[in-house]
Homo-oligomer: A and B are copies of this chain.
Amino acid sequence: MPVNLVATPAAELFPVPGVRWGITEAGVRKAHRKDLSVLLLDEGSTVDAVFTQNRFCAAPVQVCREHLFQGFGIRAMLINTGNANAGTGDDGLVRARSTCIALARLLEIAPEQVLPFSTGVIMEPLPSDRIIAGLPKALDAAKQDSWAQAAEAIMTTDTVPKAFSRRVSVSGKTVTITGISKGAGMIRPNMATMLGFMATDACIAPALMAGLARELAEGSFNRVTVDGDTSTNDSFVVVATQQAGHAPITSWASAEGQALKTALMEVARLLAQAIVRDGEGATKFITVRVEGGRTADECRQVAYAIAHSPLVKTAFFASDPNLGRILAAVGYAGIADLDQSRIDLYLDEVLVAKDGGRHPGYAEADGARVMQQSEITVRVVLGRGEAVDTVWTCDFSYDYVKINADYRS
């Protein structure tokens, strides 16, 4: 069961001028499943993206990098579920390119203007012929108000489609931001999540677009984990169609720039957190905030050690305030000169450990009360400096094992 996550109603997902989605059934892995989505962008759109740092990255990720590097101006993306086209060697690259070539021919653009994305089972050949055969139907279906359907079409083990929309005013014009994401397992993005797509009609100068995906990912997708497994296919794309009609944003420090960036980050973070809320088997949403580090990097390192510990995650599943497991994870996080006698641990507002030992005023009933909640904040104070970082994760339940033991069946 997802944790405090319901699908955003289609009516609350605002179309983004310049963006259309076409969705169809291509029979990639199973019949009667909307498994092929095409995203079409008007000319003049700018695109930025980040991809998995997994060295075993999937063929479509390699092709995306090549095509973005060419700089011809991206006009289309195609996304299939059911097959990740990863661990497929040269054959996988050929098949990913062939789908781009086919879509480019239908749209009368260059293949380098198409980005391919795949998600699903690893190490099986991509049925590129069925994908290519499905493209004309996807194009026929293309329209602006299909974000809700796109969020559904890119799901794999997700139980809830993930889509969010915001509108902000920029220089007197209304700007729309809408995004979708998917992913529930193999989630420890190291650049981006399994798949995330955001678009805005805002006018953003090219210099600001370059690096925007990374900047947004650093505050969102790069701060979530379900199981610590960094996928082969993680991709996060941000599109600006430049159609909102306001003067281009040339600095994020300006009032308009700040307002837009805040709204972009809000949507990115909602999309990333939604992946954790719908994490495989998740019953709780846990915020791990580490304060008082020398650097944000070491805070993040400690936060991830806690967020990845199977013992911590099963204790949250059981609502058991067996909180020494959190201290153990802090200890093995890899900070060589950590002084345990300076460490405090809070569960929401309850002070559990003080100066590295159980706080004399801590009553287990207080810890147990917080552990019952569906949203919990773990706060660790390292007592070494002023830096802070936060990651979001979920607990570890029977259903995680069930889902991953049964995934292919």
Contact = CB atoms under 8 A, between A and B. Distances in A.
A57 B232 contact: no
B332 A190 contact: yes
A115 B231 CA distance: 45
B314 A229 contact: no
Contacts of A329: 229
B331 A56 contact: yes
A346 interface: no
Nearest to A404: B314
Contacts of A343: 56
Contact of A357 (B90, B325, B335): B90
A229 B309 contact: yes
A231 B186 contact: no
B325 A122 contact: yes
A328 B398 contact: no
Contacts of A301: none
A328 B230 contact: yes
A330 interface: yes
A409 B314 CA distance: 13
A186 B331 CA distance: 13
Please state the number of chain copies in the assembly. Answer: 2
A86 interface: yes
A219 B121 CA distance: 36
A87 to B, nearest CB: 4
Nearest to A336: B55
B229 A311 contact: yes
B124 A358 contact: yes
Contacts of A377: none
Interface in A179-193: 185-186, 188, 190
A340 B93 CA distance: 13
Interface stretch (A71-79, A261-269, A315-323): A315-323
Contacts of A185: 311
B122 A54 contact: no
Given A320-B405, A401-B396, A332 B88 contact: no
B231 A328 contact: yes
Contact of A55 (B90, B318, B338): B338
Interface of A: 53-57, 84, 86-92, 121-125, 185-186, 188, 190, 227-232, 308-311, 314-315, 317-318, 320, 322-325, 327-333, 335-336, 338, 340-341, 343, 353, 355-358, 396-398, 400-402, 404-409
Given A54-B328, A124-B324, 20 more contacts: A54-B331, A54-B332, A55-B330, A87-B324, A87-B327, A87-B328, A89-B358, A122-B325, A122-B327, A123-B324, A190-B332, A227-B309, A227-B310, A228-B310, A230-B331, A231-B328, A314-B400, A314-B404, A398-B398, A401-B401
